[in-house]
């Protein structure tokens, strides 16, 4: 028998009680459990933040089921796993270090998604470090499935809103209802409908992908059938959400907007997901090809693997693995703390400058609009007008540093403030090095908002490019200020917002130089 497999009499016996496990398994599980508990304690803030998102945000409510599913997946493999020899393995420090570095990058940039992904990945990396490559091979799918513990998907909302609006307007026209679409707003005889964030279908899509991944592993052996299952769980929820939105609009033409919207919330919340899920399962049922009594992993193949035999040469003592783990965690925390305390020098105050051909006027928008810049050291909001009836609102925020609680490109920061009268409508016309978006207030006032971020020599409207620049600074512990500028204007007859903003930029000169003059940084 290969040395990698257990030789005790209890091998292969279901581990129903702790005392039934072989001694080497008990010792290995104690070490692994201690390290995992330590990781959760050290990175408690990230796990607590994930827990709040799982519980409080409907998009992520399904994640509450992921931990018990992970436990069930491991339990399915218990009889096969106990035949393998767990051992500490020094190459396990490589994924552990990579996960810690991902967490550090998230801490540097203030990107919660990266911090949380790093925290989850570190927890999974404890398995190869403390249980070795063969046990890791046996637990490969549950370890990969841990990715669904990370709350992700908000990044897809705007794209899904647009896709849903396109599907909905097409079905609305096919059903004979006259309608026009403007971004994510659909105007019909019964009223104006918005494909809002909650209607984008993102929570339905993410939950279906998590379910499809699980079903593909548990119910199928053929990779072609697994791929078909995943394709169905990606395409069906997107199409079904468009049908649901169309159904609401169609019903509103008969019973009115309020009744249709109320019915939609009940149907979508309680029945729609269950019905579509049931239809996907029913369609896939006859193609399930995994035997009911078949093992989830092939321990004989794992024991015979030459690659795993070669990897086994990296075994070390459990104490050495724990010491290596501690060094990685302490280094990550220390590096993040040093970067978090970086602050660039700033002026005592900043003020709106004079702009040739424009003058300052009272800020009196038709619907109050005020961007969010939490953690900024200086903020200014004002309005300029020229002699031809054009007006532009200017918002500028200056940060001494970027990190948790002070993220210029963070979620909910910038032109569109959550829980405000304004809704995202569509991408706006292109402006150089900027993010342009159209907003709609109370379904009647249109506004264009154009955003720039400036740090060092970088001028961009991309949150991703900003975060990469911040990460680069923090990696070398370099402090540089960050400026966010938003130019915005309302659309009204005779004066288009895009034209007003373009005229204003022409008067100020290069945007980055104008931002530096305001903040007195150069």
Edge-to-edge strands, sheet with 185-188: 180-182, 185-188, 191-194
**Tokens 């033409």 belong to residue:** 253
pLDDT at 139 over 90: yes
- Candidate from 208-222, 231-245, 338-352 with smallest mean pLDDT: 338-352
The pLDDT of residue 404 is 78
pLDDT at 15 over 70: no
Angle between helices 511-519 and 497-508 (to 10 degrees): 70
**Tokens 């729609």 belong to residue:** 272
pLDDT at 153 over 50: yes
Side-chain half-sphere CA neighbours of 285 within 13 A = 7
Question: Which distant-in-sequence residues (6+ apart) come within 8 Å of 509 by Cβ?
Answer: none
pLDDT at 296 over 90: no
The pLDDT of residue 274 is 83
Query: How many other C-beta atoms lie within 10 A of the C-beta of residue 117?
Result: 22
318-355: burial string, b at 16+ Cβ within 10 Å, e else: beebbebbeebbeebbebbeebbebebebeeebeeeeb
The pLDDT of residue 11 is 42
Closest CA to 408 of 418, 396, 420: 396
> What backbone torsions phi and psi does residue 78 show, to the nearest 5 degrees?
-60, -40
Q: What pLDDT band is residue 261 in, cutting at 50, 70 and 90?
A: low
Q: Where are the domains of the chain?
A: 18-152+305-339, 154-285, 358-519
Joined together, the tokens standing for residue 42 give: 């050290």
The pLDDT of residue 183 is 86
| 172-186 residue pLDDT tens | 999 999 999 888 888
The pLDDT of residue 147 is 97
Helix (H, G, I), strand (E, B) or coil at 437: strand
Closest CA to 92 of 342, 443, 295, 328: 328
Mean pLDDT of 123-143: 96
Mean pLDDT of 112-127: 96
For residue 219, give Cα distances in angstroms to 139, 149, 297, 404.
17, 21, 13, 42
The pLDDT of residue 263 is 62
Joined together, the tokens standing for residue 166 give: 């396109």
pLDDT at 39 over 90: yes
For residue 139, give Cα distances in angstroms to 80, 208, 318, 445.
10, 23, 20, 55
The pLDDT of residue 262 is 62
The pLDDT of residue 96 is 97
Q: What pLDDT band is residue 7 in, cutting at 50, 70 and 90?
A: very low
153-166: burial string, b at 16+ Cβ within 10 Å, e else: bbeebbebbbbbbe
Q: Which residue has the higher pLDDT, 420 or 149?
A: 149
User: Whole-angstrom Cα distance, residue 488 to residue 446?
Assistant: 11
Beta strands in 338-421 (DSSP E): 358-361, 378-386, 391-399
The pLDDT of residue 224 is 95
**Mean pLDDT in the chain?**
89
Question: Which distant-in-sequence residues (6+ apart) come within 8 Å of 195 by Cβ?
Answer: 161, 164, 165, 168, 184, 185, 186, 245
């Amino acid at each position: 028998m290969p040395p990698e497999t257990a030789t005790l009499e209890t091998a292969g016996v279901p581990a129903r009680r702790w005392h039934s496990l072989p001694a080497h398994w008990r010792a290995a599980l104690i070490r692994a459990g201690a390290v995992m508990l330590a990781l959760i304690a050290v990175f408690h803030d990230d796990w607590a933040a994930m827990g709040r998102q799982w519980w409080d945000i409907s998009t992520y409510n399904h994640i509450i089921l992921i931990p018990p599913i992970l436990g069930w997946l491991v339990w399915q493999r218990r009889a096969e796993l106990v035949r393998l020899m767990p051992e500490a393995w020094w190459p396990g420090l490589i994924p552990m270090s990579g996960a810690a570095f991902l967490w550090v990058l998230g801490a540097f940039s203030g990107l919660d998604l990266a911090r949380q992904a790093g925290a989850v990945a570190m927890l999974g990396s404890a398995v190869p470090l403390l249980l070795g490559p063969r046990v890791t091979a046996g637990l490969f799918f549950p370890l990969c499935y841990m990715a669904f513990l990370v709350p992700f998907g908000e990044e897809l909302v705007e794209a899904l809103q647009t896709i849903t609006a396109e599907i909905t307007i097409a079905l609305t026209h096919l059903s004979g209802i006259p309608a026009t679409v403007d971004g994510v707003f659909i105007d019909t005889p019964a009223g104006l409908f918005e494909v809002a964030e909650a209607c984008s279908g993102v929570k339905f899509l993410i939950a279906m992908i998590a379910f499809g991944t699980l079903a593909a592993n548990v119910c199928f052996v053929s990779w072609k059938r697994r791929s078909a299952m995943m394709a169905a769980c990606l395409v069906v929820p997107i199409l079904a959400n468009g049908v649901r939105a169309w159904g609401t609009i169609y019903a509103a033409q008969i019973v009115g907007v309020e009744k249709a919207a109320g019915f939609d919330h009940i149907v979508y919340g309680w029945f729609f997901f269950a019905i579509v899920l049931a239809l996907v399962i029913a369609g896939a049922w006859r193609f399930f090809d995994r035997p009911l009594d078949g093992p989830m992993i092939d321990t004989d193949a794992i024991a015979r693997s030459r690659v795993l035999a070669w990897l086994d040469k990296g075994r070390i003592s459990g104490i050495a693995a724990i010491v290596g783990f501690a060094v990685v965690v302490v280094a990550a925390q220390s590096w993040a703390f040093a970067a978090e305390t970086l602050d660039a020098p700033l002026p005592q105050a900043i003020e709106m400058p004079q702009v040739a051909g424009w003058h300052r006027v009272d800020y009196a928008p038709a619907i109050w609009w005020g961007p969010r810049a939490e953690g900024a050291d200086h903020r200014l909001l004002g309005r300029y007008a020229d002699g031809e009836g054009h007006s532009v609102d200017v918002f500028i925020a200056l940060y001494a540093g970027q990190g948790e609680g002070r993220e210029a490109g963070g979620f909910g920061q910038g032109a569109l403030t959550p829980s405000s009268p304004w809704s995202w409508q569509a991408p706006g016309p292109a402006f150089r090095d900027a993010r342009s978006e159209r907003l709609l207030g109370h379904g009647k006032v249109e506004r264009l908002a154009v955003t720039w971020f400036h740090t060092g020599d970088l001028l961009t409207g991309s949150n991703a490019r900003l975060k990469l620049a911040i990460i680069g600074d923090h990696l070398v512990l370099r402090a540089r200020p960050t400026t966010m500028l938003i130019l915005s204007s309302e659309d009204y007859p005779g004066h288009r917002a895009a034209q007003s903003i373009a005229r204003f930029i022409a008067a100020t000169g290069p945007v980055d130089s104008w931002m530096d003059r305001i903040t007195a940084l150069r």
